[in-house]
């Protein structure tokens, strides 16, 4: 796996995305910035029934520390309660229209 990651880091274009075998997870090549070398990040963006990302941009993670911090935040019971209250006030977000598929 590390060999493929190194290859993507060396040969991928800045801001390029590479799909992974994990649904909703892709690699992202971050460009060099202010003297720092180019880096890799993981973008997490759940997909819908048609395997389209549900958000335009997902959650970008660059380290295990960041992953653990988000796990801790998302596991809070009060976060779910807050979102339930928001849905009661504003309603659930509209679902995207199903893509029309032409059977060949």
The whole-number average pLDDT for the span 65-77 is 95
- Which has the higher per-residue pLDDT, 13 or 54? 13
Q: What is the pLDDT of residue 13?
A: 94
> Each residue of 5-25: pLDDT tens digit?
999 999 999 999 999 999 999
pTM: 0.76
Rounded to whole angstroms, how far apart are CA atoms 104 and 89? 44
CB-based burial label for 28 (10 Å; 0-12, 13-18, 19+): buried
- pLDDT band at 48; cut points 50, 70, 90: confident
Three-class SS of residue 73?
A: helix
CA geometry: angle at 100 spanning 96 and 101, to 5°? Answer: 135
Nearest to 19 by CA among 4, 32, 31, 33: 4
What residue spans define the domains of the chain?
A: 2-90
């Amino acid at each position: 796996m590390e060999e493929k990651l190194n290859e993507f880091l060396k040969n991928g274009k800045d801001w390029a995305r590479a799909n992974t075998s994990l649904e909703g997870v892709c690699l992202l090549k971050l460009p060099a910035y202010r003297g720092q070398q180019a880096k890799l990040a993981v973008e997490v963006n759940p997909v819908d029934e048609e395997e389209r990302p549900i958000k335009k941009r997902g959650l970008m993670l660059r380290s295990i520390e960041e992953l653990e911090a988000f796990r801790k935040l998302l596991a809070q019971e009060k976060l779910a309660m807050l979102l339930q209250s928001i849905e009661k006030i504003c309603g659930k977000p509209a679902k995207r229209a199903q893509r029309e598929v032409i059977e060949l």
